[in-house]
Amino acid sequence: MIRATLLYGLLLVVLLTASWKEWTDEPEVERGDKVELFAGKMDSITEVRWTSEKSEATLTRRSDASGDYIWVDFTRWRKKPVVKPPADDATDESPIELDEPERVAMHSGFKASDEADQLWKDLSPMLALRRLEVTDPDKLEEIGLADPTAKLEVVRGEKTQTLEVGGKAYGSGNIYVRRAYDGQVYLVDRDLLKNLKAANLLADHRMFGLTRQEVASAVITSGRDSISATQRHPDDKTKATWVLSDDPESAPEQLATWMSMALGLQGMKYADPDDMPEDLEPRFTLQLLRAKGKSQTLEVFQVGESGQWYGRSEHTRGLVRLVRSAAKSLSDDVESVLESGD
């Protein structure tokens, strides 16, 4: 009886060990001239995290009524300037000791552009240029992996794949990395991590998720006044024009100019989540409608009578500071555009 119990116990340990290795081990798969560093499918990634001395970024896959998107929470650290204190005695030649510069965190949150989708693809699977046999402490120090200051984490459900990031290879600028769970060292393409090091470059500056060709009609509203316009020949840029929906023979030039400018409106920077603007005054809204499918509505605001301009739509998911000159021009001209429909 005792012997059978020991046998079953030993079998259980073997099975648990095999299960653990299957969960943690990454297969060494050759893919052409590259090697697989992390396995996994694109749709299994729920979060990507980057941590370094200069910045931190968390990219999260989210979903709402408008569809799936990637949201980025980004923190950039910068050194606060240190002001040299005046000497008590101008003739005193003794050196002045300065404190270490204070580090200040600059936070931002924003919807990512399509480049984040490419990042998801690049991590599924994640490929290295080559596998390296590096165990010597001096060599690890040389390539920046003795005490790495940056880390990449790819979260797939309950599993987190962790990569320690070292220095750059001389000449190519490619990057040395080390897989955390087994200490295996690889060399990866420098472009693979560039959007994580400067995640603020992933911000989506578009105010709409529709192309001009997808827009069938639009509704422009300011205060209690509004007009509806229809786009003719949307697939032909040279023939495309806007007409009044209730008077298809009328195609005011001012309407076409205004719509062209509105569709090209760009965001500059997402509002600081820790310091959201107050006293937002609505200026106008622009609703874009597809021939089939969901519409998108842009709301444009100004802080008070002379402050910054902001916009928000289903595409942005958040409040975005607009290019001041473009937003002001659209707001100044919206009344005359509405009057063209009278």
CB 37 within 8 A of CB 128: yes
Backbone angles phi, psi at 327, to 5 degrees: -65, -40
Q: How confident is the model at residue 24 (pLDDT cuts 50, 70, 90)?
A: very low
**pTM for the whole structure:** 0.80
Residue 89 has pLDDT above 80, yes or no: no
The pLDDT of residue 102 is: 77
Q: How confident is the model at residue 162 (pLDDT cuts 50, 70, 90)?
A: very high
Backbone angles phi, psi at 125, to 5 degrees: -80, 165
Q: In what order do the strands lie in the sheet with 296-303?
A: 241-244, 225-232, 215-222, 280-290, 296-303, 309-312, 320-322, 267-270
Read off the amino acid at residue 106.
M
Structure-token pair, residue 47: 């979060």
The pLDDT of residue 95 is: 53
Structure-token pair, residue 337: 């555009």
> 92-106, 223-237, 272-286: which range is least confident on average?
92-106
Half-sphere exposure in the Cβ direction for 320 (13 Å, CA)? 27
Residue 277 has pLDDT above 70, yes or no: yes
Distance CA 249, CA 297 (A): 26
Read off the amino acid at residue 153.
E
SS (H, E, C) 60-116: EEEEECCEEEEEEEEEEEEECCCCCCCCCCCCCCCCCCCCCCCEEEEEEEEEECHHH
What is the pLDDT averaged over residues 210-223?
Answer: 94
CB 70 within 8 A of CB 117: yes
Q: How confident is the model at residue 70 (pLDDT cuts 50, 70, 90)?
A: very high
Angle among Cα 117, 123, 125 to the nearest 5 degrees reads 125
What is the pLDDT averaged over residues 200-229?
Answer: 94
Backbone angles phi, psi at 310, to 5 degrees: -135, 155
**Residue percentage of the chain with pLDDT more than 70:** 84
**Look-up of token digits 């408008």:** 66
